[in-house]
Amino acid sequence: MKVYINKKFYEKEEAKISVFDHGFLYGDGVFEGIRSYDRTVFCLREHIDRLFASAKVLMLEVPMSKKELEEAVIDTLKENNLSDAYIRVIITRGVGDLGLDPKKCKEPTVVIITDKIVLYPQDLYKNGLEVITASTRRNIPEAVNPCVKSLNYLNNIFAKIEARRAGCEEAIMLNSEGYVAECTGDNIFIIKNNTLITPPTYIGALPGITKNVVMKIAKEKCKMEVKEELFTTYELYTSEECFLTGTAAEVIPVVKVDGRAINDSKPGKYTLQIMDEFKKITKVLGVKY
């Protein structure tokens, strides 16, 4: 495997960054997870746009144009001869000293890794996930805004630990006011009365790329009403269907939340239709290489 670091390729064993890099020391940086399907990078431009938006909030100057970064992603895939892959693009503040001052970091670090990923066992896509609600609350926007896809993921990791201790693959995170925000790495949807509902970003949800595609599928292909609105665990427990979305997860059903069955513990009809439509669109919606 070849890894892209600052415009050069290195073998996996030789791909290194400095221990003084602020991304390593402080989680000072941003990243994107992207997928390619059959030599098509799914929603590449949307991912690069979100990466640049995250960097802007951190006042982190990306040392490449959007076009150059897109080309670097394609070059890394070609270098590794991959047609179906998971792509991780990372921009850190760069090498500084042991202090916090970002001005000490003179040049950002750019890393691109392309590899395979399996987030959930395949049988869970057929039978559905069981999830819990974590006691760990989602970061408030006035602290580390969840709309920023930063390298600081401790908030999510705490909730993931709770899920694992409960014997589950995933955990739902509430915001500080008790509304459902998202999961540790995925956006969440519920379905009630032929309406697809997902939390708005302002309460602590990442503006998901896959989420936006799924909302369009639900509206155009499934003829559903689609809403971004607040809901609590009550609406979640009493929903007709529930599923999660994310770049690595794609679309995966949820059949039990905190021990409460959703749709008799089976993936719902709309969820299955959305999953099927999403598979069709992945190979045509994006940048070919």
Bridge-based pairing state of the strands 195-198 and 225-228: parallel
The amino acid at 124: L
Residue range 205-225: average pLDDT?
97
Token pair 């599923």: residue: 243
- What ranges do the domains of the chain cover? 2-115, 122-281
pLDDT of residue 178: 98
Q: Give the pLDDT confidence score for residue 118 in this predicted structure.
A: 87
Q: What is the dotted CATH code of the domain comprising 2-115?
A: 3.30.470.10
87-129, pLDDT tens digit by residue?
Answer: 999 999 999 999 999 999 999 999 999 999 888 999 999 999 9
Task: Dump pLDDT digits (tens) for 152-210.
Answer: 999 999 999 999 999 999 999 999 999 999 999 999 999 999 999 999 999 999 999 99
Query: DSSP readout, 84-135?
Result: SEEEEEEEE--B--SSS-GGG--S-EEEEEEE----S-HHHHHH-EEEEE-S
User: Contact, 209 vs 89, CB < 8 A?
Assistant: no
Place of tokens 């499934």: 222
CA–CA separation, 193 and 128 (whole Å):
21
Q: What is the pLDDT of residue 91?
A: 98
In 3-state terms, what secondary structure has residue 164? helix
Burial class (CB in 10 A: 0-12, 13-18, 19+), 143: exposed
Write out the two tokens for 159: 């909730």
149, 192, 227, 280: the active-site residue: 149
CATH classification code of 122-281: 3.20.10.10
Contact 184, 195 (CB under 8 A): no
For residue 283, what pLDDT is reported? 87
Q: Note if 12 is an active site residue.
A: no
Strands 250-257 and 109-115: what pairing? unpaired
pLDDT in tens, 41-96: 999 999 999 999 999 999 999 999 999 999 999 999 999 999 999 999 999 999 99
Burial class (CB within 10 angstroms; exposed 0-12, middle 13-18, buried 19+) of 119: middle
pLDDT of 189: 98
**Residue 247 to residue 269: CA distance in whole angstroms:** 22
pLDDT value at residue 99: 97
Q: Which two tokens stand for residue 25?
A: 């020391």
Per CATH, 2-115 and 122-281 having the same topology is answered: no
DSSP SS3 for 31: strand
Pairing of strands 129-133, 109-115: unpaired
Residues 47-64, buried b or exposed e (16+ Cβ, 10 A)?
bbebbbebbeebebebeb
C-alpha triplet 35, 37, 38: angle, nearest 5°? 150
- Mean pLDDT for 246-265 is 97
Percent helix, strand and coil across the chain, each rounded to 5?
Answer: 30, 30, 40
- Which segments of the chain does DSSP mark as H helices, in order? 22-26, 44-57, 66-79, 122-127, 154-165, 209-220, 233-237, 269-281
Residue 267: partners with Cβ closer than 8 Å, 6 or more residues away: 126, 127, 128, 241, 243, 253, 255, 275
Contact 201, 207 (CB under 8 A): yes
